[in-house]
Chains A and B, each alone.
Chain A
Amino acid sequence: MARMKFLCDAERCIECNGCVTACKNENEVPWGINRRRVVTLDDGLPGEKSISVACMHCTDAPCAAVCPVDCFYTTEDGVVLHDKDLCIGCGYCFYACPFGAPQYPQKEAFGVRGKMDKCTFCGGGPEPDNSAIEKKMYGANRLAQGKLPLCAEMCATKALLAGDGDMVADIYRERVLKRGGRPNSWGWETAYRKNV
């Protein structure tokens, strides 16, 4: 059984924002919302590092744990998805998420939040696969087409990897062995815990 995971290799990320653009284009994410973003650590200082961050599809996801209407569900492959018909836009998941993944696209009167939007690992939502309504509400469903998230597939330096966690880890381990230094699988311990 595969366990889908994201991994961003900070040694390879060149902050080109290709992943952000690919995500926005593929999922037709509205203005002002980024399901994925590139964060630069120690910006402008020698040894600065960039990482591409989105929903990490956590094991025992904290967003799902705090959701008052239980609008989250997890697929067999560990992809955390949600139902926008159930979401009440309370914002609890935003506070619980260690990666700042949940986004709220609609700005209504009196600061009311709209339905939460986040990375779906290009897996759409509970609507019929690749239907017009699914595309409009959740974006593309590449998983149903046998494809992986476009952000990772578009990454020019292959810094961002998305797929079966074991395969991702094997590739990263090989890279670290080859180039030396210490591994830094950013966010993995937080998202997937040490032994997962």
Chain B
Amino acid sequence: MRVRTIATVMLAALLLSGCYETTDVVIHEPGIYKGAKDPLLAVDGTAGFEEKLSERFMEGQAPR
């Protein structure tokens, strides 16, 4: 009987541990972006990237 009770309690504890919910929240500060960092920002503005986009613009949108 005691073994069964202990086993039930342990099983309940195990099942309830699956109900854990993360409580981390993003604390707001006015005017500051706190989202994920966009990988595009690492290349954006570099000389190679700008050149590629300029070439693309001249290929597709410049008057022919």
**Chain A contact residues, CB within 8 Å of chain B:** 1-2, 68-73, 75-77, 79, 81, 83, 85-86, 123-129, 141, 143-144, 146-148, 152-153, 158, 161-164, 167, 171, 174-175
Which residues does chain B contribute within 8 Å of A162, judged by CB atoms? 61
Indicate whether B20 reaches chain A with its CB closer than 8 angstroms: no
**Chain B contact residues, CB within 8 Å of chain A:** 26, 28-41, 43-45, 49-50, 52-54, 56-58, 60-63
The dominant DSSP class at the B interface is loop
In the bound assembly, the distance between CA atoms of A112 and B5 in angstroms comes to 46
> Which residue of B30, B40, B57 contacts A163 across the interface (Cβ within 8 Å)?
B57
B57 near A164 with CB under 8 A, answer: yes
> Which residue of B29, B60, B63 contacts A153 across the interface (Cβ within 8 Å)?
B60
Q: How far is the CB of B35 from chain A (nearest CB, A)?
A: 3
A123 near B33 with CB under 8 A, answer: no
B35 near A144 with CB under 8 A, answer: no
A146 near B33 with CB under 8 A, answer: no
Which residues does chain B contribute within 8 Å of A83, judged by CB atoms? 33, 35-36
The dominant DSSP class at the A interface is loop
B53 near A148 with CB under 8 A, answer: yes
Q: How far is the CB of A94 from chain B (nearest CB, A)?
A: 19
Which residues does chain B contribute within 8 Å of A144, judged by CB atoms? 39-40, 43
With A1-B45, A146-B49 given, is the CB distance from A128 to B61 under 8 Å?
A: no
In the bound assembly, the distance between CA atoms of A128 and B32 in angstroms comes to 21
Which residues does chain A contribute within 8 Å of B41, judged by CB atoms? 75-76
In the bound assembly, the distance between CA atoms of A69 and B54 in angstroms comes to 34
A70 near B34 with CB under 8 A, answer: yes
Closest partner residue, chain B, to A141 (CB atom): B40
In the bound assembly, the distance between CA atoms of A62 and B12 in angstroms comes to 52
B38 near A125 with CB under 8 A, answer: yes
Could you pull out 18 A-B pairs where Cβ atoms are within 8 angstroms? A2-B53, A69-B28, A70-B31, A76-B45, A83-B35, A126-B37, A146-B49, A146-B52, A148-B53, A148-B57, A148-B60, A148-B61, A152-B61, A162-B61, A163-B53, A163-B56, A167-B58, A175-B63
